[in-house]
Amino acid sequence: MSVLRESWWIRDVEVPSRVVLAPMAGVSVQAFRRQGRRFGAGLVCSEMVSCAGIEHRNEKTLGYLRVASDEHPLAIQIFGSDPRMMAEAGRMVEAAGADIVDMNFGCPVRKVTKTGAGAHLIEDPALACAITEAVANAVSVPVSVKMRRGVEDGSRKCLELGPQLVEAGAAVLTLHPRSAKQMYTGYADHTLTAELVSLVDVPVIASGDVTSRAKAESVLDATGAAAVMVGRAAQGNPWAIQEIVFGDDAQPSREEVAAELIHFVRETVRELGERRASGFLKKFYAWYLGHGRFPKPFKNELVQLHSTEEVVTRLLAAAPGAAALVEELERNVPESEVLLEGMPISIYGGG
Ligand SMILES: Cc1cc2nc3c(=O)[nH]c(=O)nc-3n(C[C@H](O)[C@H](O)[C@H](O)COP(=O)(O)O)c2cc1C
């Protein structure tokens, strides 16, 4: 059996495969995470959630903390630069049901770094460690940190910071070895991941450019990382996860693609409401229907439609066999647990 299907542990949290679904802002909604688990990801992660938004009980932010029973194990990622606020956010995230509290020390976007958060923290080890320690002390679940190699091209700052973060209480580290400056250009230099693995005694997750089973195996072999993280390759393409974890490279039929997309649309509408979901979903149409699965004009047509119901109708017309598959998918979905409703009113914003 390939190592990719083996489980591993983050302290007392068992992760049933070596593939972690990446946190992606504007992508990693609950439907995406549930789908990732269904296709074989051992661990899924929410997109980055602002600790200030949590502190201010911002309703949209709190929406990110909805956890369903079929997502576990699940990490919820928080970002911020104030240790006290991050600790408080960590407590909320744990109360919401996260198995791991993940911290974002890698976001390269200026709006985030100029507040001292995200990738800025790789350049500010004292603050990075203070945050890690505060969060680790505030929660009983394991805490993890996800970082880039550094801010500047060629930076190796992550190798200095990694061991300090472990000392401060991080139970797992994820490295995306591009610089913040690089954004998504160039390639992820996993020789740094290998160096980080040799420097720390906690599991390391390798993130960046893992798009196939062959690549996943070569990254695990070359780095000694405990797991690989898959991001862009899984956008509108959960079959990539299946290929990586199980070696199952059968291409989905049109009906399967349409069924997954319809299910994803419906779940997302339930999560975000029709108004937010209809804009949010547009990028997914191209992602799902690309790869030569449907003709280009069809994708363009879907993007023009006004309601998600029209999108579903159009997909069913193009692939009638999808209807039975969608029913099957809907039957197997457990009710979503909106744990926030069970929280004290002061947490949910009332008091
Ligand atoms: C649209 C998008 C949004 C992302 N948002 C986050 C985020 O919220 N938190 C985070 O730690 N990384 C985020 N990332 C980075 C990914 O988690 C991952 O590290 C990166 O995409 C490299 O992996 P890949 O080559 O498999 O995509 C994002 C990436 C993309 C493409």
Residue type, 318: A
Strand runs (DSSP E) across 208-277, as ranges?
227-230
Calculate the alpha carbon distances from 98 to 77, 78, 87, 142, 169 in Å.
Answer: 9, 11, 14, 10, 17
Which atom of ligand 1 is closest in space to residue 174's alpha carbon? 19
User: Which tops the pLDDT comparison, 273 or 350?
Assistant: 273
Rounded CA separation 288/281 (Å): 11
pLDDT at 257 over 90: yes
Look at residue 103 in the predicted model and tell me its pLDDT. Answer: 98
User: Which tops the pLDDT comparison, 218 or 344?
Assistant: 218
Look at residue 263 in the predicted model and tell me its pLDDT. Answer: 97
Residue 158 annotated in active site: no
- Please give the average per-residue pLDDT across 193-204, as a whole number: 98
Report the SS3 class of residue 243.
Answer: helix
- Please give the average per-residue pLDDT across 200-222, as a whole number: 98
Q: How confident is the model at residue 342 (pLDDT cuts 50, 70, 90)?
A: very low
Q: What are the pLDDT digits (tens) for 12-70?
A: 999 999 999 999 999 999 999 999 999 999 999 999 999 999 999 988 899 889 999 99
Report the SS3 class of residue 142.
Answer: coil
Instruction: Please tell me the least confidently modeled range out of 161-175, 266-280, 335-349.
Output: 335-349
pLDDT at 339 over 90: no
Look at residue 2 in the predicted model and tell me its pLDDT. Answer: 86
- Please give the average per-residue pLDDT across 66-92, as a whole number: 96
Give percent of the chain above pLDDT 90.
89
- Please give the average per-residue pLDDT across 252-280, as a whole number: 96
Rounded CA separation 176/17 (Å): 19
Instruction: Count CB atoms within 10 A of the CB of residue 182.
Output: 21
- Compute the mean pLDDT over every residue in the chain, rounded to the nearest whole number: 93
Give the residue, by CA position, lying nearest to ligand 1 atom 13: 24
Report strand pairing: 44-50 vs 100-105.
Answer: unpaired
Q: Tokens for 177?
A: 């070895």
Distance between Cα 27 and ligand 1 center (Å): 9
Residues touching ligand 1 (Cβ under 6 Å) are 22-27, 47-48, 77, 104, 106-107, 146, 176, 207-210, 230-233
Which atom of ligand 1 is closest in space to residue 27's alpha carbon? 1
Give the residue, by CA position, lying nearest to ligand 1 atom 5: 24
- Residue 47 · residue 32 · CB < 8 Å: no
Which atom of ligand 1 is closest in space to residue 234's alpha carbon? 26
Strand runs (DSSP E) across 106-252, as ranges?
143-150, 172-179, 204-207, 227-230
- Please give the average per-residue pLDDT across 182-199, as a whole number: 97
Q: How confident is the model at residue 344 (pLDDT cuts 50, 70, 90)?
A: very low
Look at residue 336 in the predicted model and tell me its pLDDT. Answer: 58
- Please give the average per-residue pLDDT across 92-101, as a whole number: 96
Rounded CA separation 282/304 (Å): 9
Instruction: Count CB atoms within 10 A of the CB of residue 273.
Output: 11
Q: How confident is the model at residue 343 (pLDDT cuts 50, 70, 90)?
A: very low
pLDDT at 283 over 90: yes
pLDDT at 188 over 60: yes
